[in-house]
Amino acid sequence: GAVVSQHPSWVICKSGTSVKIECRSLDFQATTMFWYRQFPKQSLMLMATSNEGSKATYEQGVEKDKFLINHASLTLSTLTVTSAHPEDSSFYICSARGGADEKLFFGSGTQLSVL
Amino acid sequence: LAKTTQPISMDSYEGQEVNITCSHNNIATNDYITWYQQFPSQGPRFIIQGYKTKVTNEVASLFIPADRKSSTLSLPRVSLSDTAVYYCLVGDDTYGGSQGNLIFGKGTKLSVKP
């Protein structure tokens, strides 16, 4: 089946720095990718919808200037957490629609820890 | 998007059949029902998807009554490795549907014991 690769799988950074997370569709073209955030023992929360070649659509309450999303190609979307703070520590997951039957496939997630 | 309601947790023993029911009273005509499995620190994994009646694949069955206001995920003969959180999602998710994003509910934490 279709594969979505997410990198890095975990990252530790200092408060105030920026962190970039990549999401790649390995064997299909994904015109739309989605970014989720998941806190411990909670469900996934949709942050934004990323469309190739256009600006991302953010969910209510998600700061677009803090969580920069770029979807420059049909196989790559990036999420940059700018000026990260400890409260941004979370599990970030991307997903992409694609494959022969246009199903939704998820990446393996990125655990971000901000010190 | 239709809201879903699932039991927060379920316990089972190895070898048993597990049925997890999801309520989605406001499901729309174009909505499909999709179930995902998530292990700790991993992304969700697609299990099964259906629109009505019954769907079966190599890992699970999905039962959907005629009114489509609920659905039941059936896992035959569970093992310890089936311990995970199971999410029921409803949305226009497949075959070129316009609504690509899926809203996750709280999910059901299934614990399989030896």
Question: What pLDDT score does B104 carry?
Answer: 82
Before A8, cis peptide (omega within 30)?
yes
With beta carbons under 8 A apart, name residues in chain A contacting B102. Answer: 34, 46, 104
A50 shares contact with chain B (CB less than 8 Å) = no
Whether B94 and A107 lie within 8 Å, measured CB to CB: no
User: What is the overall mean pLDDT for chain A?
Assistant: 91
Q: What is the pLDDT of residues B76-114, one digit of tens each?
A: 999 999 999 999 998 875 433 444 556 788 899 999 999
Question: What pLDDT score does A101 carry?
Answer: 65
Task: Using the predicted structure, report yes or no on whether residue B61 has a pLDDT greater than 50.
Answer: yes
Whether B104 and A45 lie within 8 Å, measured CB to CB: yes
Q: What is the pLDDT of residues B82-91, one digit of tens each?
A: 999 999 998 8
A108 shares contact with chain B (CB less than 8 Å) = yes
Q: What is the pLDDT of residues B63-73, one digit of tens each?
A: 999 999 999 99
Task: Using the predicted structure, report yes or no on whether residue B58 has a pLDDT greater than 70.
Answer: yes
CA distances, B113 to each of A8, B72, B79, B82, B85 (Å): 33, 21, 8, 10, 15
With beta carbons under 8 A apart, name residues in chain A contacting B95. Answer: 101-102
Question: What pLDDT score does B56 carry?
Answer: 97
B80 DSSP 8-state letter: G
Question: What pLDDT score does A104 carry?
Answer: 80
Query: What percent of chain B has a predicted confidence (pLDDT) above 90?
Result: 73
End-to-end CA distance of chain B: 38
Whether A93 and B43 lie within 8 Å, measured CB to CB: yes
Give the distance from CA A68 to its chain's centroid. 10
Q: For residues B60 and B47, give the distance between their C-alpha atoms in angstroms, rounded to a whole number.
A: 7
DSSP symbols for B10-46: EEEETT--EEEEEE-TT--TT-EEEEEEE-TTS--EE
Question: What pLDDT score does B30 carry?
Answer: 84
- Residues in chain A, overall count: 115
Q: Are strands B61-64 and B53-56 parallel, antiparallel or unpaired?
A: antiparallel
Least confident of A61-75, B37-51, B72-86, B99-113: B99-113
Q: Which of B77, B105, B45, B98 is nearest to A95 (CA)?
A: B45
Question: What pLDDT score does B93 carry?
Answer: 57
Tell me the average pLDDT across A22-46.
Answer: 91
User: What is the overall mean pLDDT for chain B?
Assistant: 89
